[in-house]
Structure 1
Amino acid sequence: MYAAFYSGMRDMKTKLIEAKDRLGGRMLFYPEKMIWDVGGVTPILCENLIRQLEEQARTFEPTLVFEQQIEGLDRQGDGTFLLTTACGEKHWTRTVIMAIGYGIYKMAKLELEGADRYEVTNLHYTVQELEPFRDKHVLISGGGDSAVDWANELEALAKSVTVVHRREKFGGLERNVLRMRESSVDVRTPYAVDKLHSISGDRIEQVTISHVETGESEMLEVDAIIVNHGMKSDFGPILDWGLNMGEWHANVSEKLETNIPGVFAAGDFVIYGSKLHLIAGTFTDAALAVNSAKLYMDPEADKVAYVSSHNSRFKEKNKALGVVE
């Protein structure tokens, strides 16, 4: 979304193609999660950040295409690219910026026999609303950012919060991990969820957790379980394009160039020497990728866009806002 906005600042004709039916990518999994680390933005609900990013992305009226997953990339005789979608639609372009995260996301499931039967009741892989967990005994399985964040969000709302993680070290931001450990959250490490128990047959009432080293087990009463074991990703046919790929990321230059001339990438999809894996870092990635795409098409162009206060693209828009320059 930010790449679409910044592309407009560079006066480039822009088309944003999205596989889902709405914008937001991975953030759509956590609409009620509070985002604290975007520069100049006070703590904001993820769903509100998505809304603001989408509004910004539409500033220069890019073409938006939804529910089309790109499968084919073919360079034409004139140097342009033909993009082919899974539904057969075709798109032509001079450059491509890949901001695809980890591809098609699927939540990593709890690998216990019969666990899937509780997904319609009290086994959750994401949290759309906080209120249903009020005054409940909540167990969270996982140790990444999301597990830590949900523990902190629910600590004051739920009757109790227990976090079970198979390693001593958590993958969340240090300050958030410290906040969790200093709160009333019951942190159990190194433990893993071993068994689910149901008396009613349709809900989980108890959980057995086991120490991963000693095997010692304990049974806990629960009203709800949240599983945050990360995501499984699928890049699909993109892996056949000839990109220089690592295990999880595309290897790019500091200018966000892939090994395919004219194809650039940004965000969670990429890795390079100074890569910052934060939402704030993706904004820089997006701008760098757009600048590189601009220079690829026009080597004589300015290397970067003028700041908004000096960018001619905003003169009329400022007038519409009643700003006198």
Structure 2
Amino acid sequence: MNESMELYDVTIIGGGPAGMYTAFYSGMRDLKTKLIEAKEELGGRMLIYPEKMIWDVGGVTPTLCRKLIDQLAEQARTFDPTIVFGQQIVHQARQEDGTYILTSATGEQHWTRTVILTIGYGILQMAKLEIEGADRYEVTNLHYTVQELEPFRGKRVLISGGGDSAVDWANELEGIAASVTIVHRRERFGGHEKNIARMKASSVDVRVPFAVSQLHSSNGEQIDQVTVSHIESGESEQLEVDAVIVNHGLKSDFGPLKDWGLDMGEWWAKVSNRLETNLPGIFAAGDFVDYDSKVRLIAGTFTDAVLALNSAKLFMDPSAEKVAYVSSHNDRFKEKNKALGVVDDH
């Protein structure tokens, strides 16, 4: 162990919504906190759909995902945690005193009393369109995510996919694009019911069960026609397009984390109702976990963060309060309230 390493109470691995809120709540509990993110920015999976509107976070009116990321990141920094970017943690080693040394893929080490894993689905990659030569169009008009809506204004857009993001993009583009067609291999869509109903009631051309079978280009640089084929009959039709968006899901890779000895399924770590993993001092929250009452919404992620952090606090100090005082009574906010011009009479 490097003697110059600083010991932290809590080290959070993963900078998505679960990680960011855990960092904030850790500050509420007066813990020395570090957050480590493999990418060069916070946001996690939310970075895939920055232009989507987020409706289902309590107390937050419809907000662009990009703005919600910024707000969560600002909140995460409230108590000045150490935030480290560009490091993928690949190894953990429990020391004789019960602390952990975490090592990144590039060799950096971090020393901590407890660990909270908020890594979502690990390193994510978009599932590509399985048509030979499709990759040549990725630099022009074949897209696997929508970063901005404006480039699609007035265009004929075809979306391939049937999950939440595909449905959301169809709804968001319907009032911007000249036309929107969505093709899905199954009769049923996998998104939220209300969003599916909205899409079907709009001008979006819904084709099920269909799949993209060929891409056509008159100049070899961009797609101008797409052949879609009926899954059962094989009947095909060519559609004129200006842009193609593919949302066939995500491929997950947990890398060396699979070798840590965690009790894991294919997608999730199994945790207790207190968000404890099977490894002492290691807790988890967010999309990475599974337990009986798990809620797979951003709102549910915040509860996970609180439960995991409280468990970490009690692991270090069994005599500690089980939860933090609410912000209106938490001493950690007194000076911050003053800075905001709020007078506390209590």
TM-score with structure 2 setting the length: 0.93
| Unaligned segments of structure 2, at least 5 residues | 1-19
- Is 1:212 the counterpart of 2:231 in the alignment? yes
Query: What are the superposed Cα offsets for residues 168-226 of structure 1, whole Å, 9 maximum, x if unpaired?
Result: 11111110010001000011111111010111110101111111111111111110000
**CA displacement at 1:121 relative to structure 2:** 0.4
Query: What is the CA–CA distance in structure 2 between the aligned matches of 1:37 and 1:167, rounded to whole Å?
Result: 26
Query: What is the CA–CA distance in structure 2 between the aligned matches of 1:230 and 1:311, rounded to whole Å?
Result: 42
**AA at the equivalent of 2:118:** A
- Is 1:233 the counterpart of 2:252 in the alignment? yes
Query: What are the superposed Cα offsets for residues 58-90 of structure 1, whole Å, 9 maximum, x if unpaired?
Result: 000000001010000110011101100011000
Matches within 5 A, 1:41-190: 41-190=60-209
Which residue of 1 is the match for residue 58 of structure 2? Answer: 39
Which residue of 1 is the match for residue 17 of structure 2? Answer: none
**CA displacement at 1:163 relative to structure 2:** 0.5
- Is 1:275 the counterpart of 2:294 in the alignment? yes
SS in 2 for 1:207: strand
Question: Which range moved further: 88-97 or 213-222?
Answer: 213-222
SS in 2 for 1:313: helix
**AA at the equivalent of 2:72:** L
Matches within 5 A, 1:242-321: 242-321=261-340
SS in 2 for 1:111: coil
**CA displacement at 1:27 relative to structure 2:** 0.8
**AA at the equivalent of 1:310:** H
**AA at the equivalent of 1:198:** S
Query: What is the CA–CA distance in structure 2 between the aligned matches of 1:300 and 1:87, rounded to whole Å?
Result: 38
Q: Cα RMSD (Å) of the superposition?
A: 0.6
Of 185, 196, 199 in structure 1, the residue corresponding to residue 215 of structure 2 is 196
Query: What are the superposed Cα offsets for residues 107-135 of structure 1, whole Å, 9 maximum, x if unpaired?
Result: 11101000000000000001111111011
**AA at the equivalent of 2:70:** R
**AA at the equivalent of 2:244:** I
Query: What is the CA–CA distance in structure 2 between the aligned matches of 1:302 and 1:213, rounded to whole Å?
Result: 60
SS in 1 for 2:221: coil
Query: What is the CA–CA distance in structure 2 between the aligned matches of 1:316 and 1:134, rounded to whole Å?
Result: 47
**CA displacement at 1:102 relative to structure 2:** 0.6
Query: What are the superposed Cα offsets for residues 213-264 of structure 1, whole Å, 9 maximum, x if unpaired?
Result: 1111111111000001111111000000000011111111111111111100
Runs of 4 or more, structure 1, over 2 Å off, are none
Query: What is the CA–CA distance in structure 2 between the aligned matches of 1:24 and 1:227, rounded to whole Å?
Result: 22
SS in 2 for 1:74: strand
Which residue of 1 is the match for residue 4 of structure 2? Answer: none
Counting matched residue pairs gives 325
Query: What is the CA–CA distance in structure 1 between the aligned matches of 2:336 and 2:144, rounded to whole Å?
Result: 42
Query: What are the superposed Cα offsets for residues 18-54 of structure 1, whole Å, 9 maximum, x if unpaired?
Result: 1001111111111111111111000101110000000
Among all aligned residue pairs of Structure 1 and Structure 2, give the percentage whose two residues are the same amino acid.
77
SS in 1 for 2:328: helix
TM-score with structure 1 setting the length: 0.99
Query: What is the CA–CA distance in structure 2 between the aligned matches of 1:156 and 1:22, rounded to whole Å?
Result: 31
